[in-house]
């Protein structure tokens, strides 16, 4: 099966790689792409179709944050994503975080301008209406460089 090539998006000190979901049969080519883009963290937002230990053995952290295809992410995944980015790009400015869903279209964020048809109507509505929320009133929150952060 032919897949769209990975899409790299960089903004200030942040780089993201949006890819398709590999299988064990295509894992070698996939890991070569991850190395080429110097990926340090990989977020899988779909069911696993390959052995993540192969990726982890390259020193790449793999996070499994599955949610329903075609739907916006649940609040907890949004919070975890924002926490990851805040920590990751503070500790390793310029590093690359990869994200993939089943086809590299439906759930992988940030790519509509780079890959046509990447978001469905439900996802676009979610993004248009998204407003940052705090996790809970019991958790202290603070602002840092215009990013709202809540301590767990």
Q: How far is CA 126 from CA 73, 74, 111, in A?
A: 9, 11, 15
Which of 69, 80, 95, 150 is the catalytic position? 69
Query: Does the annotation mark 83 as catalytic?
Result: no
Ramachandran angles phi, psi of 36, nearest 5°: -60, -40
- 104 near 49, Cβ under 8 Å? no
Report the alpha-carbon distance of residue 50 to residue 45 in Å, rounded: 13
Which of 15, 96, 101, 149 is the catalytic position? 101
| Alpha helix segments (H runs only) across the chain | 27-36, 52-56, 75-91, 121-129
Query: Does the annotation mark 101 as catalytic?
Result: yes
Report the alpha-carbon distance of residue 129 to residue 83 in Å, rounded: 21
Give the catalytic positions in this structure: 69, 101
């Amino acid at each position: 099966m032919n897949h769209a090539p990975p899409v790299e998006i960089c903004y200030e000190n942040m780089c993201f790689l949006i890819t398709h979901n590999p299988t064990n049969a295509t894992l070698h080519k996939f890991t070569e792409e991850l190395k080429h883009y110097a990926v340090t963290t990989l977020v899988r937002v779909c069911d696993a179709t390959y052995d993540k230990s192969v990726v982890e053995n390259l020193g790449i952290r793999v996070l499994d944050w599955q949610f329903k295809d075609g739907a916006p992410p649940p609040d907890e995944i949004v919070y975890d994503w924002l926490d990851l980015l805040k920590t990751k790009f503070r500790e390793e400015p310029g590093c690359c975080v990869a994200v993939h869903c089943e086809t590299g279209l439906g759930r992988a964020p940030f790519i509509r301008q780079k890959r046509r048809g990447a978001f469905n109507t439900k996802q676009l509505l979610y993004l248009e209406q998204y407003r940052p929320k705090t996790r809970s009133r019991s958790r202290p929150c603070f602002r840092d460089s215009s990013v709202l952060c809540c301590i767990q």
